[in-house]
Structure 1
Amino acid sequence: MLKWGVAALAVLASVFVGLASWDGLLAEGSVADPYVVHQVRIERDGFGVPHIFGKSDADVSYGLAMAHAEDDFANIEEVVAAVRGRAGAITGEAGAQLDFARGLLQPEVDAARTYGTLSADTRAVVEGYARGLNDWVKAHPSAPRVRGLFPVNGQDILTGFLLRSPFFIGLDKPLAALVKGEPVPRDSGPADERGSNAFAVSAARSEDGVTRLIVNSHQPWEGGVSWWEVVVHSDAGWDFAGALFPGSPYPLLGHNQNLGWANTVNRPDLVDVYKLEVDAGGENYRFDGEWRPLEARRIWLRVKMGPIVLPVPRTVYRSVHGPVLKNDRGYFAIRYAGFGEAGQMEQYYRLNKARDFEEWQEAMALQGVAGTNFVYADAKGHVAMIYNAKFPKRAEGFDWKGVLPGDTSKALWTEYEPYAAYPKVIDPASGWVGNANNTPFLSTAPADELDPAAFPAEWGIETYVTNRAWRYQTLFGELNGPISRAALLRIKFDKGYDRRGWAGRWMAKVMAVEDPALAEAQALLATWDWSQDGEGAADALAANILGKGARAGYGGLPLPDAAVELRAAVAELEATFGTLSPPLGDYQRLRRGRVDLPVFGGPDALRAIYAPVAADGRRVGNNGDGFMMVIEWPTGAAVRSQSIHQFGAATVRARSVHYNDQAALFVAEKWKPVVLAGASPE
C-alpha cells in the first residue's frame, strides 16, 4: 500500500512537472528576418520620452523597438504571446479568450499570404522593429515570462495588427454573443462607455491665426492598448511626434512638421453574421444550391492556472464567408471589413510620411485602416473630420443589421465603397471640426453638417450621440467670434453633462425613486451643477451614481434599477467617509506608485475619467484622458506642440523617475513641451 502511494505521488509529480513545463518546451519563435546592422541613437528628454535618431526609417524603427521594450516589455511580450496563440499561458483565462480569437481568425495565415504585398520600405520598417525587439531580448534574457516567443519577424508584427484591429471596428460584440450562444446584437454602436475626443480649429477661425489640433484618445491606462510616447527623426525625412501601442513600429497618431491627426473609434456596421445551413453530419454547408465542405480545425488553448499551463481543445470552422462558430443555435459565419488584408500597416506608415493634405489623402485612399475617425489639421490651415470606414458594397434587400442568410452569394459582399464616398467634413465655413465617438452628422457647426440622407442605409452609419458630443456642440456654439487657445482648451477639459443624453435620463430615473430613506441623497443631488469639477458638495455622490449608470446608458442598454443603485451609493459613501458629501478630490484619485492625487472629470465627460471603486472605497482612475497633445501651426512659423501622459514614459518600470513624473501635471490639466526637429516648444 505504501509502495503504491509513493508510486502514485511520483506519477502525479511527473504530471505536474509536465504540465508546468510542456508549453515552454514545445514552443519556438519564428525564423528571424535577415540581420541588418542599424545606425541609431536614442536620447531621452527631461521627461524620459525617447527621441530616436537614425539614418534610415528602418534604423529608427529598430531604435523605437529597443526604447519601447525598455519602458514596456511586459505589454509587448503579451502582444507577441497573443501572436503565437499563447496569451493564456501568461494571463490565464483572459488571454485564452484572445488565443481563441487568434485560432478562429487565423491572422498568421493572412499575414504570410499578404506580407509580400507591402512596399519594400514598409517591410524594411517593420523588420527593423522586429530586429530591435529580438536584440533587446537577447540583451535581457531573463525578461520573458514564457519561453519560445522570440525571435519575431516582420510577419509576426503584421499578425499582431491583423489580430487586434478587428476589435476596433466592433467584432467584439457579435463574437461574444456567438461564443455565449446568445442572439447577435443588431446595434453596431459603442461597446462600452469609453471613447475619445479630437478637435481642430483653422487659422481663419482662431483668435491668433494659429491652426490647432487636439489629440485626446481615451484608452486603458495600462495594458496592451495603452499609449507610449515617442519622437522619431530619420535622415530619410521621417520626423514625427506622437504615440503608439505595444507592437506598433511607428506612431499611430500625432504630427510631423506639416500636418497631424487624431483618431476616435467609430462604430458603423462593418461586421456581418451569416446563419449557415449545415448537413446532419456537420461536414457540409449549402451555398448557391450546392453543398460545400465546411473546413474544421482543432485548436489548443494554453491556459495558465496557478503554476501550470493546461491544454484546452476547441474546434473552429471556416466557410466561404469567413470564420465560423458553432453554438446551440447552429453554425454562424463572420465577415468583417478589412478581413485578411495587410493594408493598414502600409497606410499608417504613409500617413506618418505625408508632407501635405494631398499626400495624406492619398494615403487615406489606400483604405487599409478598416475603421476609425481621423480628425486632421495642417500648417496650411486645413482642418477635416474623416469618418473613415471601409464600407462593404452590400446589395439592397437584406437586413444587414440582422443575421443574414448564408446560403446565397447575393448576401456575400466582396468589394468596398471608394474613399471618395466616405462622409467627410473638410474646411467648413465654421472653421472647426470635432468628434467624440458620435455620429458623423454632428462634426461641425449646424450650417456645415453633412446630410444623413446622402448616405445609403446599407452602410450602417451610427446615429449615436455621446454626452461629449452634446457638450462640444453646445460649447462651440457659444463661441460666436474667433476661437482662442484658452477657449479651445476649456472645451477639451469640460467636465459637464448634458440632460439630453444618457446622463439626463439616468439622473431623472434616480430622482424619481420614491423612498424616504433616500430623500437626503436626492436633495443633495438636486443641488448638483451637472459638472464633475469638484466645486460642489454633490459631486462625489454624482460621481458614484454616474459610474453606476454609464455603461448601460452609453451602450443603449436598459438602465439599472435606480433605487438599488442609489441605496448602494449612499451605503458606500457613508461607509468610506461617514458623509454623502466628501470633496470629489478625496473620493476620485489618480494613483501610481507612491503618487496619490485628486483628479476631476467623469465617465463620458470631455475630461473623461473612468474610475472603478478601489479596496479603500475610493474611485481610482484606470481609463479615459491619458496621452494628449495640443499641436499648433502659427502662420508662417514652425509647428509647436505640447503633450501629457497620465503617468509617464516608463510605463512599467516602477523604479524609474519617469514611472509617474507626469501625473501631477496631468491632474492639474497642464502640458509639457514636445520638441520635433526644427520645431520650438511653447
Structure 2
Amino acid sequence: MSWVKRSAFTLVVLLIVAFVILATWEPIAAGSGKAPPDRTYSAEIIRDEFGVPKIYGKTDADVAFGVAMAQAEDDFFTLQDVVAMSRGRYGAIAGEEGATFDYVYHLLDARGTATREYPKLPEDSRALFEAFAAGLNQYAEEHPDEVKLTNLFPVNGEDVAAGFVLRQPFFYGLSNVVGPLVAGDDLRKEFGPDIPGFPRDGSEPAKEAGTEHMAMNGVHPLPWGDDAGMLGSNAWAVSPDKSGGPTTLISNSHQPLRGGVAWYELTVESEEGWHFTGANFPGSPFPFLGHNRHLGWTNTVNRPDMADIYKLEMNEASDQYRLDGEWRDLETKTVFLPVRMGPVVLPIPRKIHRSIHGPVIENDNGFFAVRYGGMDSVDQLDAYYRINKATNFEEWQTQMARMAIPSTNFIYADETGNIAYLYNAAIPDRPEDVEANWRSVLDGNRSDLIWEGSVDYEEIPKVINPSSGWLYNANNEPFTAAGASDDIDPESISPILGVELKQTNRSRRAYKLLSESSLLDRANLERIKYDTAYEREGYVADMFAGLEAMEFPPRMKDTGQFELERARDLLLEWDFTADNEGPADALALLMIRDFMSAEYQNRGSAPDVKEHLQKAVDHLMEHFGRIDPPMSDLLRLRQGDVDLPLDGGSDTLRASTTWEVHDDGRLSLVHGDSFIQWVEWNDGEPVFSRSIQPFGAAITRPESPHHTDQMQLFVDHKLKPVYFWREDVIANAKQRYTVSNGD
C-alpha cells in the first residue's frame, strides 16, 4: 500500500512539475526583448470632444512617442496582439489560431528581414520607430496590470518593423496562396489575364481553399479568412472644375471594425514640418492615409498577380531540391509555436523551409516555393514617412516611384487642383522573353523563372488630371477609373503584370453615377457615397437568373415550399436598393453576401440559389417569424450597450460588408464602411476636412465616453469636423496633457 501511495505521490509531483513547465516555458524561451536606445521623448496630447488625439512634439520622434502613448491609452489590448504577432508569440495569447500567424511569421522570415534591412533605413526614419517603441514600453511600464504576456516588453524599432514585414503582403491576398498550400488544396484562379500561349483550361473550380485549416473570421492582427477576401474600399478625387468649388478627396476605407487592421484616427504635428491628419493601424508611428496642408491620398486594395509558386523537385531524403539540373540544400529549421490551452502553453514543433526562390511549404502534394512582391524589404517604412511630409505632387510622386510600398491603389488630390490615380503595386519584374505560364505553378528547376525586384514605375497603370475631372476606385480594375474619354486601354498593359480584370457592384454604381453627373458638388458626392443600390450585373444578375429559373409545385401552405416560393416572388419584386424601405431588403441582404463572396474570392462557381434562399428564409422565420422584416431590424451596428439600425449591404457604396450573427438572429456589422474622411481645398483657403468612425476613438475601452460616441453620427450618414489647425485644436480641446519617458 505504501508503494502505491508513493507512486501516486510521485505522479502528482510529476504532473505539477509538468504543469509549471508548460505554464512558464514560453516567456522564458522568448526571453526579454531588447529596449531601444535610451533617449528622452516628450509629446503633448490634446483630445477633442470625440477623444481623437492631436499629438504635438518638438521633433518627429517626439511625436512618434506620443502616437504610441495615445494608441495605447485607447487600445492597448489590440496593440499587444500586434506586438506579440511581430515577435512570433501570438499563439501564447490566442491559442491555435494565433499560432497560425506565428507560423507565417517564421515562414516569411519577418524577423530575419527586419534584422537585415531595418538598420539600412535612413536614421530619421529609424528614429520614428525607436521612439514609437519607447512609447509602447513607457505605457506598459506605467500599466503593468494591463500587460497580457510576460516578457512582451520592452520592444524596439526592429520589432515594430517586423510587424510591417508580416502584415503588408496579406493586403494583396497572400493568404490565398499560403492557406491553400498549407492545406494542400487547389489554388484559386487569379484575377489577371491569361498569358499569351497559355490559356487556362475549364477545369473544376477550386473549392473555398484552405478554409477548414486556415480560415479565421474573428478579430485578428492580420487580414485573413473572410476579412482578407472581403477587403475593399471606395475612393474619390474631384477637380475644382468638376466640383464647382473645392478640390475634393474622399477616403472611404472598408476594413474590419475591430482588431489589428482597424483604423485609428489621429493628427500629428512637429516643429520639424510633419503635420498630417488621417488614420493608421495599431502598431504604426505614422498615418497611412489622410492629408497634410498641401496634399492628401487614400487607398483601396488591389489584387495584381504578386506571387509566383514553384514546384520543387526533391531528392529522396527531401533535404535537397534540383535547380538547373544541380542539387541544392534546402534550408530547414525547427521552430516551436506557442499554443495556449487554458493556463498552459504547449510548444508545437514545426519545420520551416526556404529555397533560393523564397519560403517553402510542404504538403501532401510535394514542396512548393513562394516568391512575392515586396519580399525581404522594409523600404515601405521610409516611403510612408516621406509621403507624409511631401509638399507637392512632384515630391509625392518621386517617393511613390520608388515602388517601396508593395500594394494598394492610391487616389491623390492637392491644393493646386491636381488629382491622380495610381495603381500602386510592386509587381514582380517577370522576364518577358521567357516562355512560362505565370498564372500557373512554375517549374522550380528553372533559375530563369526566378525574377528579381519589381517592375518600373512607368509600367504600372496611372491616370493624372483626367479631362473628366473625377477619379475613383472601388476595388475594380484600373481600366475604369476616370470616364470613357480618359480610361486606360487594357491592351497597353502587359498581361505578365497580372493586373486584375474585375468589377464590383460598387465600381459599377460609382462609374455610372459619376458619369451621369454634370456637377460633382458636395451634395451630389454625398448622394453617391451613401448609395445603397445594386446594378443587375455580374453576380447580382446571376443570382436573379437563378431565382427566375426556380420551379415550384402547386402551392401547399402546409409545406416548406410555400414560404420559399413567397420569398422567391418577393425578391423578384425587389427594387435593388438596400435602403431599409423595401419588404425584400432583408432577404436580399442575406442572399447577396454569399454570391458577392464567391466572386470576390474568384471561386469560379456561384452558390446554389435555392439552397441559399432556403437558408435565408429559415433564418428570418426562426428569428423574426416572417420573411419580410424591416432590414433595419436585421442589420445592426452594436458596441457595448448601443444597438443601432444600419443601411447598405455587401458591396454597396454604403458598405455593410460582413457581420456576425448574434444569438437573437441580428447581424452585427464587423466589416464595411469604417474610417471616412472628406477633404476639401478651396482656392485661397486652408484645407478643411471632416471624418467619422463606426464606434469611437476607444474601441476596446468600454468605460471610456469615446467607446461609442460616434455611432449615431455614423448610422445617420453624418461627419464630424477634423481639427487640423493648431488654433482650432486649442479652441476645441477637452483634454490636454504631456506624456514623457523622462523624470
8 A Cα contact 2:235 2:298, kept in partner: yes
Equivalent residues in 2 for 1:334-345, closer than 5 Å: 334-345=370-381
Q: Distance in 1 between matches of 2:86 and 2:144?
A: 20
Question: Relative to structure 1, is the Cα distance of residues 528 and 98 closer, same or farther in structure 2, using a 3 angstrom cutoff?
Answer: same
Query: Which residue identity does 1:102 align to in structure 2?
Result: Y
1:350 to 369, 386, 403: 386
1:198 to 235, 251, 254: 235
Q: Distance in 2 between matches of 1:506 and 1:556?
A: 16
Residue of structure 2 in register with 1:462 after alignment: 500
Q: Give the CA deviation at 1:680.
A: 6.4
Residue of structure 2 in register with 1:613 after alignment: 661
Q: Distance in 2 between matches of 1:15 and 1:39?
A: 46
1:320 to 342, 356, 375: 356
Query: Which residue identity does 2:531 align to in structure 1?
Result: D
Deviations 1:121-178 (A, max 9, x none): 1111111111111111111112111111111111111111001111112211111111
Deviations 1:28-79 (A, max 9, x none): 2332121211131111011000000100000000000001011111111111
Deviations 1:414-462 (A, max 9, x none): 1321112221011000000000111000111111000111111110000
Q: What is the DSSP-based 3-state SS (H/G/I as helix, E as strand, rest coil) of the residue aligned with 1:314?
A: strand
Equivalent residues in 2 for 1:258-269, closer than 5 Å: 258-269=294-305
In the alignment, does 2:577 pair up with 1:539? Answer: no
Q: Distance in 1 between matches of 2:139 and 2:726?
A: 30
Please, which moves more after superposition, 616-625 or 573-582? 573-582
8 A Cα contact 2:99 2:339, kept in partner: yes
1:548 to 591, 594, 609: 594
Q: What is the DSSP-based 3-state SS (H/G/I as helix, E as strand, rest coil) of the residue aligned with 1:263?
A: strand
Q: Distance in 2 between matches of 1:511 and 1:485?
A: 39
Equivalent residues in 2 for 1:314-463, closer than 5 Å: 314-396=350-432, 397-463=435-501
Residue of structure 2 in register with 1:628 after alignment: 676
Residue of structure 1 in register with 2:7 after alignment: 4
Q: What is the DSSP-based 3-state SS (H/G/I as helix, E as strand, rest coil) of the residue aligned with 1:622?
A: strand
Residue of structure 1 in register with 2:510 after alignment: 472
Residue of structure 1 in register with 2:205 after alignment: none
Question: Relative to structure 1, is the Cα distance of residues 641 and 679 closer, same or farther in structure 2, using a 3 angstrom cutoff?
Answer: farther
8 A Cα contact 1:639 1:680, kept in partner: no
| Ranges of 4+ aligned residues in structure 1 off by more than 4 Å | 188-191, 678-682
1:595 to 617, 642, 657: 642
Q: Distance in 2 between matches of 1:444 and 1:197?
A: 14
Query: Which residue identity does 2:141 align to in structure 1?
Result: K
2:106 to 103, 106, 123: 103
Q: Give the CA deviation at 1:679.
A: 8.2
Residue of structure 1 in register with 2:221 after alignment: none
Residue of structure 2 in register with 1:14 after alignment: 17
Q: TM-score, normalised by structure 2?
A: 0.90
8 A Cα contact 2:189 2:602, kept in partner: no
Q: TM-score, normalised by structure 1?
A: 0.98
1:585 to 632, 636, 641: 632
8 A Cα contact 1:228 1:651, kept in partner: no
Query: Which residue identity does 1:4 align to in structure 2?
Result: S
Q: What is the DSSP-based 3-state SS (H/G/I as helix, E as strand, rest coil) of the residue aligned with 1:636?
A: coil
Q: Distance in 2 between matches of 1:569 and 1:341?
A: 46
Q: What is the DSSP-based 3-state SS (H/G/I as helix, E as strand, rest coil) of the residue aligned with 1:262?
A: strand
Residue of structure 2 in register with 1:290 after alignment: 326
Q: Give the CA deviation at 1:288.
A: 1.8
Residue of structure 1 in register with 2:275 after alignment: 239
Query: Which residue identity does 2:651 align to in structure 1?
Result: D
8 A Cα contact 2:188 2:602, kept in partner: no
In the alignment, does 2:527 pair up with 1:524? Answer: no
In the alignment, does 2:704 pair up with 1:668? Answer: no
Q: Give the CA deviation at 1:678.
A: 5.8
Q: Distance in 1 between matches of 2:147 and 2:538?
A: 46
Residue of structure 2 in register with 1:639 after alignment: 687
1:485 to 522, 530, 552: 522
8 A Cα contact 2:266 2:278, kept in partner: yes
Deviations 1:322-372 (A, max 9, x none): 111111111111100111111100111011000011111011112111111
8 A Cα contact 1:639 1:679, kept in partner: no
8 A Cα contact 2:412 2:421, kept in partner: yes
Q: Give the CA deviation at 1:188.
A: 4.7
Query: Which residue identity does 2:636 align to in structure 1?
Result: R
Q: What is the DSSP-based 3-state SS (H/G/I as helix, E as strand, rest coil) of the residue aligned with 2:282?
A: coil
Q: What is the DSSP-based 3-state SS (H/G/I as helix, E as strand, rest coil) of the residue aligned with 1:631?
A: strand
Residue of structure 1 in register with 2:736 after alignment: none
Residue of structure 2 in register with 1:564 after alignment: 611
What is the percentage of aligned positions where both structures have the same residue?
46
Query: Which residue identity does 2:568 align to in structure 1?
Result: Q
Deviations 1:385-424 (A, max 9, x none): 1000112221231110100111111101013211122210
Q: Distance in 2 between matches of 1:501 and 1:657?
A: 44
Q: Distance in 1 between matches of 2:573 and 2:632?
A: 18
In the alignment, does 2:154 pair up with 1:117? Answer: no
Q: What is the DSSP-based 3-state SS (H/G/I as helix, E as strand, rest coil) of the residue aligned with 1:6?
A: helix
8 A Cα contact 1:392 1:416, kept in partner: yes
Q: Distance in 1 between matches of 2:726 and 2:513?
A: 35
8 A Cα contact 1:52 1:60, kept in partner: yes
Q: How many residues align?
A: 680
8 A Cα contact 1:502 1:554, kept in partner: no
Query: Unpaired runs of 5+ in structure 2?
Result: 193-225, 556-560, 733-743
Query: Which residue identity does 1:53 align to in structure 2?
Result: Y
Query: Which residue identity does 2:482 align to in structure 1?
Result: T
Deviations 1:237-262 (A, max 9, x none): 11111010011110000000011111
Q: Distance in 2 between matches of 1:285 and 1:579?
A: 61
Q: What is the DSSP-based 3-state SS (H/G/I as helix, E as strand, rest coil) of the residue aligned with 1:433?
A: strand
Equivalent residues in 2 for 1:117-136, closer than 5 Å: 117-136=120-139
8 A Cα contact 1:233 1:240, kept in partner: yes
Q: Distance in 1 between matches of 2:176 and 2:282?
A: 23
Query: Unpaired runs of 5+ in structure 1?
Result: none
8 A Cα contact 1:228 1:244, kept in partner: yes
Query: Which residue identity does 2:615 align to in structure 1?
Result: A
Query: Which residue identity does 2:593 align to in structure 1?
Result: G
8 A Cα contact 2:380 2:405, kept in partner: yes
Query: Which residue identity does 2:528 align to in structure 1?
Result: I
